[in-house]
């Protein structure tokens, strides 16, 4: 039976476009085909080529909002998309089936990047039942007017037969919201893992092997470090639970799917244990160059025994910095004193870092001052509260040769 298609409105390119921006402009409408990830199961999500900031996560290459369509006796959509991409999702669905035939929409997670397009989807799939956790239902009914929606509330281990396939729902509470669940297709051994194992990268590739496994792992590490790092204890517990589930394919809510789940699961296990490489990260900001001189001397000393990553906190991405800190064995943070406090960009960075709860590191607080060296003391206190083994080094005004030598030696010590 031929189904009616819903087509996107034509988007005219800008006059005299920059070639690179023109490609970005056209990319969302170049390929509207769904992509089969397993027999009868299709990716029907959306690609956001232009997003560069996802609640302070620097999405350096955009991101995807993954949605999946399961064609069985009952038609099931796994997750909605961000509201402004619903037409893109519906176009992909309509190339396979009339969206009105959708009987279930599983909401693994109610955060707006996953679910803000749900109401628009349900205006087309009017008879669909929304499947979610109890917390998910409560949250959706705060985001939307839901009194006319049909709900099926599920808990861990509940199943739903949709034809030749069975869906099993797994509790993912606080990975990373209270409502979170994952959906497992028993017969196909596919885990729709929600945010776990995802990456923020815009790509038409749907599998890690096609993007390049090492490349996919790089994006997955950025995602883990900036979103899931504070949940390491829960992640370790959940990885243990998942050992009892045979998984052939992991399909997350963002990024590419993993045909070899062992690769990403092993990396998650290492990240959750904060297994450290032989690496030192030096992060600093400077007013008149004195703290920068100390930072470079520390980095030079640390390079004697370890890899070094040197970052300027205003010029480099915090997203990248904390990703390097994730598996570093040591961290040095430097700032000058201003207004009897820590130079604000570094204070802000430390606040962000503290929220991510990194562990198992040595640390050095350093910096320059004019008449009150309180910044180093405050940074040391902040790092100590994170559970780090702390050293301090403060220099008045411009560092002397002897003080730069001392900074070098502290770097050497930090790298051991």
| Candidate list 111, 188, 327, 403, residue with the active-site label | 111
- 209 a catalytic residue: no
Question: How far is 285 from 25, CA to CA, in rounded Å?
Answer: 36
Which of these is catalytic: 55, 145, 148, 214? 55
Tell me the C-alpha distance between 133 and 109, whole Å: 9
According to DSSP, the residues that pair with 167 across neighbouring strands are: 160, 185
The tally of CA atoms less than 13 A away on the side-chain side of residue 69 is 28
- Which candidate, 122, 106, 111, places its Cα nearest to that of 192? 106
Based on the residue annotation, tell me whether 285 is a catalytic residue of this protein: no
Of the candidates 65, 68, 104, 223, the residue annotated as catalytic is: 223
Dihedral (C-alpha) 276, 265, 320, 395: value to the nearest 10 degrees?
A: -20
One-character DSSP codes across 152-195:
EE--TT-EEE-SS-EEEEEE-TTSSSTT-EEEEETTTTEEE-TT
Phi first, then psi: what are they for 94, rounded to 5°?
-65, -15
- Rounded Cα distance between 332 and 390, Å, is 10
Task: Return d(Cα 249, Cα 176) in angstroms, integer.
Answer: 21
Per annotation, catalytic residue among 68, 176, 285, 327: 176
How are beta strands 102-106 and 41-43 bridged, if at all? unpaired
- Cα separation, 342 vs 370, in Å, equals 13
C-alpha span between 25 and 12 (Å, rounded): 9
User: Catalytic residue among 91, 113, 188, 327, which?
Assistant: 113
159-161 vs 166-171, strand pairing mode: antiparallel
111 is catalytic: yes
114 is catalytic: no
Active-site option among 51, 72, 195, 292: 195
Whether 55 sits among the annotated catalytic residues: the reply is yes
Q: HSE of 260 in the Cβ direction (CA atoms, 13 Å)?
A: 11
Question: Which residues, including other chains, have CB under 8 Å from residue 250's CB and lie 6 or more apart?
Answer: 190, 191, 193, 197, 257, 258, 261, 264, 265
Cβ-Cβ contacts under 8 Å for 100 (sequence gap 6 or more):
124, 125, 126, 127
Active-site residue, selected from the candidate residues 109, 200, 324, 408: 109
Q: Select from 317, 54, 319 the least CA-distant residue to 195.
A: 54
For helices 290-302 and 401-415, give the axis angle rounded to 10 degrees: 40
Let me know if 312 is a catalytic residue. no
Kindly list the catalytic residues.
Answer: 55, 109, 111, 113, 176, 195, 223, 254
């Amino acid at each position: 039976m031929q189904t009616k298609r819903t087509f996107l409105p034509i988007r005219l390119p800008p006059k005299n476009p920059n070639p690179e921006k023109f490609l970005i402009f056209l990319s969302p409408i170049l390929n509207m085909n769904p992509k089969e990830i397993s027999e009868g199961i299709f990716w029907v999500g959306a690609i956001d080529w232009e997003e560069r900031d996802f609640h302070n996560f620097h999405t350096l290459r955009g991101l995807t909002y993954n949605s999946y369509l399961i064609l069985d006796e009952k038609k099931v959509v796994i997750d909605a998309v961000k509201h402004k991409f619903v037409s893109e999702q519906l176009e992909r669905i309509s190339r396979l089936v009339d969206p009105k035939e959708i009987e279930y929409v599983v909401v693994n997670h109610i955060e707006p990047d996953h679910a803000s397009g749900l109401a628009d989807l349900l205006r087309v799939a009017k008879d669909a039942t929304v499947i979610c956790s109890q917390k998910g239902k409560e949250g959706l009914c705060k985001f939307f007017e839901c009194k006319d929606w049909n709900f099926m509330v599920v808990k861990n281990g509940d199943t739903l037969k949709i034809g030749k396939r069975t869906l099993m729902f797994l509790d993912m509470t606080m990975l990373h919201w209270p409502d979170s669940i994952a959906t497992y297709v028993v017969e196909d051994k596919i885990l729709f893992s929600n945010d776990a194992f995802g990456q923020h990268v815009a790509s038409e590739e749907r599998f890690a092997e096609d993007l390049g496994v090492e490349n996919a792992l790089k994006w997955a590490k950025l995602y883990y470090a900036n979103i899931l790092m504070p949940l390491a204890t829960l992640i370790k517990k959940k990885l243990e639970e998942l050992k009892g589930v045979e998984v052939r394919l992991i399909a997350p809510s963002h990024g590419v799917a993993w045909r070899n789940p062992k690769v990403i699961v092993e990396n998650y296990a290492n990240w959750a244990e904060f297994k450290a490489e032989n690496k030192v990260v030096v992060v600093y900001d400077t007013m008149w160059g004195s703290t920068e001189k100390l930072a470079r001397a520390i980095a030079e000393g640390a390079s004697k025994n370890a890899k070094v990553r040197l970052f300027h906190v205003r010029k480099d991405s915090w997203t990248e910095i904390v990703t390097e800190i994730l598996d570093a064995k040591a961290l040095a943070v430097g700032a000058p004193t201003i207004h009897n406090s820590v130079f604000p960009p570094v204070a802000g960075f430390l606040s962000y870092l503290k929220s991510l709860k990194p562990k198992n590191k040595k640390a050095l607080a350093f910096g320059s001052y004019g008449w009150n060296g309180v910044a180093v003391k405050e940074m040391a206190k902040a790092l100590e509260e994170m559970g780090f083994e702390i050293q301090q080094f403060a220099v008045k005004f411009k560092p002397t040769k002897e003080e730069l030598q001392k900074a070098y030696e502290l770097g050497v010590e930090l790298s051991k």
